[in-house]
Amino acid sequence: MEGPRLNGIGMTSARTRERLVQRLQEQGIADQRVLDRIRNVPRHLFMDEALASRAYEDTALPIGFGQTISQPFVVARMTEALLAAGEVLRVLEIGTGCGYQTAVLSPLVKEIYTIERIAPLLGRARRTLRELRIRNVNFRHDDGNIGWAARAPFDGILLTAAPHSVPQALFDQLKLGGRLIAPVGPEGRQELFRYTKGESRIDRQSLGAVSFVPLVSGLQR
């Protein structure tokens, strides 16, 4: 990746990033580790240069293939919810997308196993994360609905696309005491939930209304 991308549009003012962080704090994000990552991850690298000037707005933006880069507040909220109950070592991410959520989470956990069904998006995310020297991420081109059983169990699972209900395979791959963060529901009526796996039941806590692309099956090459 060329040097100018690392220093180009969207990077011109530290104040722009600081305003974003301040906005997230005002909306209730309190984990300083998460706020620092939002401040320091160069979000403009994860989108087309035509949209880079909007990179530090608190909004979702298109990244191609009918997908979006998530709103920074939602990325921060999901990351904070995943980390809230203590140390998380191994995380399964369903929906790599452009890799921005992966980049925010990467130094806060030991290992990330990330699945993306759209091959060109996965390739782009892999290149961007490599340029940022993020090395604790394992990539897989597959259907996120089935998870990654060979690498289970996971301390945490994070979905960046919304199923109508969470696939049972993902709960099966979650460690006892582990947490799964997912937007759930049809478009226009989605809610973000944190699920915690207990001995005999899975507890569910609502984290508020959200809007995500749907979680779909099958591969795209």
Q: What is the pLDDT of residues 68-89, one digit of tens each?
A: 999 999 999 999 999 998 889 9
CATH number for 62-210: choose from 3.40.50.150, 3.40.630.30, 3.40.190.80, 3.40.50.300: 3.40.50.150
Is the pLDDT score of 164 beyond 90?
yes
Clarify whether 70 is annotated catalytic: yes
Q: Percentage of the chain with pLDDT > 70?
A: 94
What pLDDT does 220 receive? 86
What pLDDT does 78 receive? 97
Active-site annotation holder among 70, 206, 211, 217 = 70
- In the chain the beta strands, taken as DSSP E runs, fall at 61-64, 67-69, 90-94, 111-116, 137-141, 154-159, 174-184, 190-197, 202-210
* CA distances (Å), origin 149, targets 103, 117, 142, 146, 195: 23, 16, 12, 8, 19
Q: pLDDT tens across 84-115, in order? A: 988 899 999 999 999 999 999 999 999 999 99
The residue among 133 and 216 whose pLDDT is bigger is: 133
Domain limits of the chain? 62-210
